[in-house]
Chain A
């Protein structure tokens, strides 16, 4: 197809694509393929991989449990301060993650306004533990689920819910049997986005949970450490993460990349 755009726009677009492609090429070019396997089997990588898997899946589950009802409320309920609540939900998308992590530490740390009483009462310490990793990941990733699901709830034809109610379904049954299945494509997309964001989380984690191998050191943190000590390992882990991201994009391609 002949392009109808001016040449300068095409040139700029090529530069923009190069910006995405060049780092990937650099990563692949520097990958020590010979030692790739053994590098991935190292304790550093396996510990980080396991922790990232547990923390990201936990973050997705918590986001679903807390975020779907919140999205429902934002999409359907009318209440004072709704704009403020929506703004607060979106805040983690805008605030630098490390600032979010610091804020979590001040609130939930052993001396924090909630963390203090919690420690006094139960002896539980949230920061610098796997709980901290999960909370940090949930904090930064849940907004993706809330905004995706809220948009989907606004877009479905609400008359179906009315039809379900007239067939005897209570509000909760309508939500479970009609609303959720009808927004399923968006819900899946939202969950995948949430998971991808949770896997990539760095700033809030390092501020709130620290960087202890086998305890709070997730894959991005492992890359950060390895860049200082063992560049080949850093490259190998990075490639694994790029592979994961690509797999997610391919999985969602019908939904997003079709147009």
Chain B
């Protein structure tokens, strides 16, 4: 059992959760993830580690309440215990040897972009963060991200915070101005990563994207997380979750991620019924 030591909403549908897991905290590196099972009946949910405190023995995750199991996780408070936390899983992000990096986070992807930006910054790289959100109410980790980069650009679809436009607009401008990036890291919705990769390919800038596909075990056993990278089948849980953005088949990934959409919607509706949250949406 793993104790929840802190839990707070970042906005309406996104929560921050700090969990006591000393052994995982001791080993976790940026880019790695954990699998959480809230209780006996819940699904195993893969969540990238947003923050690690080896001394306090905690790891933190940030998650969006989209399905029955994440909704259930969202109802758990500080002091409650999680049935299972497995990790750290996946290959850590390579953060050594870069001089100038653009870290692009889209929405919830900022939760993953944050530890990576932090690690790169600590490794001595010049880090620019470009974070995109739909509107000002959905902005997360603004302060945290700001503290681990040299320049921070916030983009919103409606211009309600930062500049109006897409992350690719800001990235293109920076590149055109001669930013001279030797690495771009993009984490967020698949469609965003696809367009960042298309853009950087034109300029020949190495681009790493982080996958968050459907998975069960996180150890290479189910094959549910398979993605096509450079024409080859890869398992995001053991070969990734980071891959070369210029090699990933994003269109296939978008289709695969929608595979359980109907069942998840049904489970969520049933769940809302069961716990009497008819008003939630």
A binds B: no
